[in-house]
């Protein structure tokens, strides 16, 4: 029997699984048991729920679904079923205690390592083809690591102060618009680890438009705040105006006003002066849309966003810079900076048309509802994408500083309610060509 090191997809699968697990463990290391069990926000699960959930998901898909051993039964699955239990009620469930959850995750991973050796290197089975199901599970854990980061940011009962990789400060980079020529563009992906909502790859015609070269910064957004943008209903969608009035929202989440023209922000365990050169984050879709209207612009559609990421020269690219893997010079990804970098930091990450920062730093809200592409087929289960299709959710693109490179590409589609602010989301503006 060949060892998995002789099969490229197995090497990649194991590397990504282990990278995801190392990140999860590092993020939660040293947290007291009480903080792991606590419901820090009704918007988020207890941290320990996520630990056992990713392990249970891995057991279901990398062991049971592939003929491997099982450790638990469907009754246990139900506790960690994200569709059965809303986040706000998960602390009421009979959850594994932290030591038990971490031990369960370790047992599952050890069994997966052994089972991986027994799997065929080449298989027509859709779950195994090019290691799809392993990519799905690795991306799933990394997405939960991003969710853990959002929970840690909301935490107020413990001062969580992670060691952060230094972010470059390149100096002022002025905002400007980039003309994206009209024409056909290949959207979506048929790549080995692409999700069902990215499929099938298809070509559409996108008219020419203007796109901001950088995401909107804190400094840009501060002008909107201080000029009374949150007091003027004409900039807001009716439901957005109703939302910010009901919640008494007057600025992005985690901003701390200190008096006239003085602002701080809370970032995990730090309270610091608001950095005006970083992309604004923790704004909901309604806030992004209102700013765009105030600025005389609009949010890009997701087709426009992906055309900008692909470039107008007709070349199909996995990332704005090409198919090369992401490095810190390309994009701020992976979670170790614990915040966005100033705009203009990633010189090598520019698109073919000269658009900066399309991947990393902040998720970017688009104008588009989350729907399936023509020819969409749910795989391997409806609850990943299809049950969310409709006008209730807006699409985000690009990934944030807390997103992992394995789960970030030009075609990747994220989605959320237009009122969500705890996610690491910002935006950039677009404009029709006159």
Terminal C-alpha separation, the chain: 64
CB atoms within 10 A of CB 157: 10
Architecture field, domain 4-154: Up-down Bundle (1.20)
Give pairs for 219-225: CB < 8 Å, separation 24+.
219/276, 219/277, 220/175, 220/280, 221/252, 221/280, 221/283, 221/291, 222/263, 222/274, 222/276, 224/290, 224/291, 224/294, 224/295, 225/250, 225/251
Give the pLDDT score at 73: 83
pLDDT confidence of residue 1: 42
What is the topology classification, in CATH, of domain 177-217+286-432? Answer: 3.90.1580
Q: Look up the pTM and report it.
A: 0.96
Identify which has the larger pLDDT, 420 or 315.
420
DSSP 344-369: T--GGG--TT----SSSSSEEEEEEE
CATH 1.20.120.450 range(s) for the chain read 4-154
pLDDT digit string, tens, across residues 62-75: 999 999 998 888 88
Q: What is the mean pLDDT of residues 53-61?
A: 97
DSSP 283: -
CATH 3.90.1580.10 residue ranges in the chain? 177-217+286-432
- Give pLDDT, residue 7: 85
How many residues would you count in the chain?
A: 434
pLDDT tens digits, 311-330: 988 888 999 999 999 999 99
CA distances to 47, 307, 364 from 208, in Å: 45, 10, 20
Burial class of residue 60, CB neighbours in 10 A (0-12, 13-18, 19+): middle
- Residue 256 phi/psi, 5° resolution? -130, 100
- Residue of 148, 124, 126 whose CA lies nearest to 52: 148
Q: Identify which of 70, 427, 176, 126 has the alpha carbon closest to the alpha carbon of residue 282.
A: 427
Torsion sign across C-alpha atoms 296, 299, 303, 308: positive
Is the alpha carbon torsion for 418, 212, 308, 362 positive or negative?
Answer: negative
| pLDDT, greater one: 21 or 82 | 21
Mean pLDDT of 81-86: 90
Q: What is the mean pLDDT of residues 290-318?
A: 95
Per-residue pLDDT tens for 192-239? 999 999 999 999 999 999 999 999 999 999 999 999 999 999 999 999
Looking at 344-353, 371-380, 409-418, which range is the least confident one? 344-353
Residue 42's nearest CA partner among 78, 86, 95 is 86
Q: What is d(CA 369, CA 382) in angstroms, rounded to the nearest whole number?
A: 18
Q: Which of 1-5, 28-32, 48-52 has the lowest mean pLDDT?
A: 1-5
What is the Cα Rg of the chain in Å? Answer: 22
Q: What is the pLDDT of residues 233-283, one digit of tens each?
A: 999 999 999 999 999 999 999 999 998 899 999 999 899 999 999 999 999
């Amino acid at each position: 029997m060949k060892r998995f090191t002789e099969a490229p997809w197995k090497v990649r699968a194991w590397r990504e699984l282990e990278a995801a697990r190392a990140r999860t463990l590092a993020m939660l290391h040293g947290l007291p048991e009480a903080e792991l069990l606590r419901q820090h926000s009704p918007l988020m699960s207890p941290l320990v729920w996520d630990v056992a959930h990713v392990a249970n998901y891995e057991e279901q898909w990398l062991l049971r679904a592939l003929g491997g051993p099982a450790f638990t039964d469907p009754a246990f699955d139900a506790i960690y079923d994200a569709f059965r239990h809303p986040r706000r009620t998960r602390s009421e469930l009979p959850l594994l205690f932290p030591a038990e959850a971490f031990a369960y995750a370790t047992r599952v991973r050890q069994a997966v390592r052994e089972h991986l050796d027994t799997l065929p290197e080449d298989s027509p089975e859709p779950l195994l083809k090019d290691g799809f199901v392993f990519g799905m599970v690795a991306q799933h854990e990394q997405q939960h690591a991003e969710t853990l980061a959002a929970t840690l940011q909301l935490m107020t009962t413990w001062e969580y102060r992670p060691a952060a990789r230094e972010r470059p400060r390149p100096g002022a980079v002025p905002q400007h618009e980039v003309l994206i020529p009209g024409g056909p563009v290949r959207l979506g992906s048929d790549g080995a680890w692409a999700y069902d909502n990215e499929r099938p790859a298809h070509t559409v015609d996108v008219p020419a438009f203007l796109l901001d070269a950088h995401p909107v910064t804190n400094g840009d957004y501060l002008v909107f705040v201080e000029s009374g943008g949150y007091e003027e209903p004409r900039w807001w969608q009716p439901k957005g105006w109703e939302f910010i009035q009901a919640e008494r929202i007057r600025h992005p989440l985690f901003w701390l006003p200190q008096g006239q023209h003085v602002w701080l922000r809370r970032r995990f365990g730090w309270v610091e002066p608001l950095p005006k050169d970083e992309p604004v984050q923790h704004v909901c879709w309604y806030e992004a849309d209102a700013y765009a209207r105030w600025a005389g612009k609009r949010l890009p559609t997701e087709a426009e966003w992906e055309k900008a990421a692909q470039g107008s020269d007709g070349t199909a690219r996995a990332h704005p810079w090409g198919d090369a893997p992401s490095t810190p010079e390309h994009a701020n990804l992976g979670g170790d900076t614990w915040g966005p970098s100033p705009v203009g930091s990633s010189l090598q990450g520019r698109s073919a048309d000269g658009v900066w920062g399309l991947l990393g730093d902040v998720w970017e809200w688009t104008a588009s509802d989350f729907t399936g592409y023509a020819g969409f087929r749910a795989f391997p289960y409806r609850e990943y994408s299809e049950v969310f299709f409709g006008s209730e959710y807006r699409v985000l693109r690009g990934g944030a500083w807390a997103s992992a490179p394995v789960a970030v590409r030009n075609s990747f589609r994220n989605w959320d309610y237009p009122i969500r602010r705890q996610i690491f989301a910002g935006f950039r503006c677009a404009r029709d060509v006159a």
